Structure 1
Amino acid sequence: MNMAEAFVDLDAVAHNTVLLARAAGTAAVMAVVKADGFGHGAAAVARTALDHGATWLGVTSPAEATALRAAGLTAPMLIWMYPPTETFDDLLHAGVDVSVGSLPALEAVAEAADRTNVVAQVHLKADTGMSRGGAVAEEWPQLMAWARKFELAGLIRIRGLWSHLANAETPGDAGLRRQLRAFEAARQAAVTARLDPTITHLANSAATLQLPQTRFDLVRAGLALYGIEPVPGRTFGLRPAMTVRAQVLLTKRVPAGTGVSYGPDHVTSRETTLALVPLGFADGVPRQSTGRAHVAIHGVRCPVVGRVSMDQIVIDVGDLRVRPGDIAVMLGPGTDGEPTAAEWAQWAGTNPNDILTGIGARIPRRYGPVR
């Protein structure tokens, strides 16, 4: 094996897709495979999800969209971020739907449709309260009026209307209720503008699993697709898909009072064995987890001691019998004593998305069960 590697269990992705499709009811499922499939490999995850109930793919950038098309993925696909200079020609030729949340972007898409003689499939995005992408309510009448004009000119088709939720984890949240009302207002504005989007979508992973009023025609599954439970305190039966592990490179027996790593910020309090593991912050081990994180060796959790370095961490294994070549598991499903991505997120003061997408590119991905 390599010094470090990440196993991606596509059976887990399949299981999660089936679970999400069941939860979605009559709504279709979009597999969100941005950021290289949350670090799992976009093409492999996309194929698996499409084989097990997903019918759409969601990505962020033009490069992500065209890469999936080049890999042979022909499923309907939505892109929602692009630079102001984007021409859209390649995206239209590739049959990629485009999210639009401003009049300049709508005009650019219509111009591309005119140049390429390809009718652009557009999803209008409404900003319902997150203050990120999308048009605010004051912009809806003008944006939708121009969308209707471009439709009548045969340049675009308003295929979808969508927005994104700030907090789908708490069903009783007042902000959630405001967003639902705002989204309904956006839908009514589309009717007033004589638009007829066939796909309305709002639900993310958490909403898919617990907010049926948000599912509409399509749900967008991101974090849950990879097996991370999206609602704190609730479990829905998802299976984490990624395991990150590395070989122990070196062990040494040291006395009490031995400094470890830079500073040193850590000094051993007793005689113990230290193990060197080739995972560092360049590989996705968050520096903020220093002093809190653990890895599993022989199924036993052992603390990471001293500062996390770029390429390595030091593990205090105590009197556990550990030798070079033994396996240290950074994260996994948690079924064999190893920490999970959710635990790493707690140690680092972040979210599991950050942990998964942070697993570095120099760690090769292996597909299949851990072996």
Structure 2
Amino acid sequence: MSTMSRPLLGPAEIVVDVAAIRDNARLLAATAGVPLIAVVKADGYGHGMVETARAALEGGAAWLATATIEEAVALRAAGVVDVPLLCWITSPTSDHAAAVDADIDVTAYSVEELDEIAAAIGERAVPARIQLKVDTGLSRGGASRADWAALFARARVGEEQGTWRITGLWSHFACADDPSHPANDRQEAAFRDALDLAAGHGLRPEIRHLANSAAAILRPSARFDAVRCGIAMYGLDPAPGQATDIGLVPAMTVRAPLVMVKDLAPGDAVSYGHHWTAQQATTVGLVPVGYAEGIPRNASRPGAPEAAARVGIAGALRPIRGTVCMDQVVVDLGGDRPPVGTEVVVFGPPSAGGPTAQDWAETCGTINYEIVTRIGGRMSRRYVDGEPR
């Protein structure tokens, strides 16, 4: 038997609690004991860049940070103006002049990049704000050790010429979520070497920062003048399994209406490929979210359906059955028949009555960063301020 009617809930949505972000920012700043750089790149890790930035500032963040100039300029255009703002990914076509005009700190990795910035900004009354990033072992962005001296020398020349002010020197950990990993000591030692070398070239940056979310909580020696926190500010554990609970609360809840309930007989198979077959009579529900909304297709675990991701429905965790589709998933209701329109909690804080983003990450073999950042698609986003969801 099938039942179907107009859902009592609205469409699938992402609910973001800005009070949680404010409180998380306060906790992180208090734990670190140094200024907080709130990272709001990638649309605020899926939470909304502008709203997240404002909540973080209300929670005491001293800086904001994005990945790109475009993200940083968008923040300024949205009225987020009275706060230092750092970005760190540029290209030869990046609009460095726009960054200077908007009082944005741009990160340089190389002498060539400094030269590009100098050429782009020309003769200006106000020096550009430049931070230098050194590679201490992540082997991603940043100047390699062999290039540090040349980078610092060129940076100092630009300061003497009035082209820019070197406002920061920073790097990024590779293994901070594993506090016992030997790379952490090596990277911190390398960063201290870079600081000494920069000082020898006459550079006196305003802030020196190395710690990401995990190091901000787990590695006091790496806090220096500021800590950069992204995922932890959104209430998610940056180092699962490392006993890092400082009271962070996840800010995101993903919810959708149950839009259909139907009976299955033993032997009925579900969804594309028939990767799951009912072994006994049961009921299933249809939830209108799929991989177009960022639901990982492997959440159903075709080879191990007993380990499939779960959602919260009427206080119970219900497993996904069959292949995740573009627009919908099927969940096993185990014979129950909750009314059409019942709330389905895809993930959220423990108080929401469903699984967490970390639960989904473990099921899908990824990290909680990816779960919250990829979610969206056709979902709306709604903001609450500590209100019931």
TM-score range, shorter chain: over 0.9
SS class of match (2:129):
strand
Structure 2 residue aligned with 1:136: 144
Q: Given the alignment of the two structures, is residue 251 of structure 1 paired with residue 261 of structure 2, yes or no?
A: yes
CA contact (8 A) 2:69 2:95 kept: no
CA contact (8 A) 2:345 2:352 kept: no
CA contact (8 A) 2:213 2:238 kept: yes
Structure 1 residue aligned with 2:39: 32
Structure 2 residue aligned with 1:269: 279
Unpaired runs of at least 5, structure 2: 1-8
Q: Measure the CA separation in 2 of the matches of 1:64 and 1:336.
A: 31
- Aligned-residue Cα RMSD (Å) equals 1.2
Offset at residue 370 of structure 1 (A): 4.4
Worse-superposed segment, 70-79 or 356-365: 356-365
Offset at residue 3 of structure 1 (A): 2.0
CA contact (8 A) 1:7 1:370 kept: no
Superposition TM-score, scaled by structure 2 size:
0.93
Superposition TM-score, scaled by structure 1 size:
0.97
1:285-304 correspondence runs (5 A): 285-290=295-300, 291=305, 292-304=308-320
Q: Given the alignment of the two structures, is residue 124 of structure 1 paired with residue 140 of structure 2, yes or no?
A: no
CA contact (8 A) 1:87 1:108 kept: no
In the alignment, residue 204 of structure 2 is paired with which amino acid?
A: D
SS class of match (1:335):
helix
Q: Measure the CA separation in 2 of the matches of 1:39 and 1:336.
A: 18
Worse-superposed segment, 103-112 or 91-100: 103-112
Give the counterpart of 2:365 among 349, 354, 359.
Answer: 349
Give the counterpart of 1:72 among 74, 79, 82.
Answer: 79
SS class of match (2:89):
coil
Q: Measure the CA separation in 2 of the matches of 1:224 and 1:35.
A: 15
Unpaired runs of at least 5, structure 1: none
Give the counterpart of 2:209 among 201, 212, 223.
Answer: 201
Cα 1:179–1:250 shift into 2, 3 Å: same
In the alignment, residue 338 of structure 2 is paired with which amino acid?
A: V
1:217-236 correspondence runs (5 A): 217-233=225-241, 234=243, 235-236=245-246
CA contact (8 A) 2:177 2:238 kept: yes
In the alignment, residue 297 of structure 1 is paired with which amino acid?
A: I
Q: Measure the CA separation in 1 of the matches of 2:278 and 2:79.
A: 54
Q: Measure the CA separation in 1 of the matches of 2:361 and 2:179.
A: 23
In the alignment, residue 71 of structure 1 is paired with which amino acid?
A: A
SS class of match (1:270):
coil
CA contact (8 A) 1:228 1:238 kept: yes
Q: Measure the CA separation in 2 of the matches of 1:150 and 1:135.
A: 17
Offset at residue 319 of structure 1 (A): 1.9
Worse-superposed segment, 30-39 or 227-236: 227-236
Q: Measure the CA separation in 1 of the matches of 2:231 and 2:86.
A: 17
Structure 2 residue aligned with 1:86: 94
Cα 1:366–1:171 shift into 2, 3 Å: same
CA contact (8 A) 2:11 2:257 kept: yes
Offset at residue 22 of structure 1 (A): 0.2
Worse-superposed segment, 291-300 or 107-116: 107-116
CA contact (8 A) 2:171 2:210 kept: yes
Worse-superposed segment, 125-134 or 81-90: 81-90
Structure 2 residue aligned with 1:2: 10
Q: Which runs of 4+ in 1 moved over 4 A?
A: none
Structure 2 residue aligned with 1:60: 67
In the alignment, residue 362 of structure 2 is paired with which amino acid?
A: Q
Offset at residue 227 of structure 1 (A): 0.4
CA contact (8 A) 2:345 2:353 kept: no
Offset at residue 107 of structure 1 (A): 0.9
Structure 2 residue aligned with 1:186: 194
Offset at residue 84 of structure 1 (A): 2.1
Post-superposition Cα deviations, 1:198-243, rounded to whole Å, max 9, x if no partner, equal 2100011111112111111111010000000112221221100000
SS class of match (2:350):
coil
Give the counterpart of 2:341 among 303, 306, 325.
Answer: 325
Q: Identical aligned pairs, as a percentage?
A: 45
Offset at residue 169 of structure 1 (A): 2.1
Q: Measure the CA separation in 1 of the matches of 2:181 and 2:281.
A: 51
Post-superposition Cα deviations, 1:77-111, rounded to whole Å, max 9, x if no partner, equal 00000222224011110000011111111111222
Give the counterpart of 1:215 among 206, 215, 223.
Answer: 223
Structure 1 residue aligned with 2:172: 164
Q: Measure the CA separation in 1 of the matches of 2:329 and 2:109.
A: 44
Q: Measure the CA separation in 1 of the matches of 2:178 and 2:260.
A: 46
Q: Measure the CA separation in 2 of the matches of 1:198 and 1:113.
A: 22
Q: Measure the CA separation in 2 of the matches of 1:45 and 1:302.
A: 31
Q: Measure the CA separation in 1 of the matches of 2:32 and 2:115.
A: 34
CA contact (8 A) 1:56 1:77 kept: yes
Post-superposition Cα deviations, 1:35-73, rounded to whole Å, max 9, x if no partner, equal 000000111110011011101100011221111101100
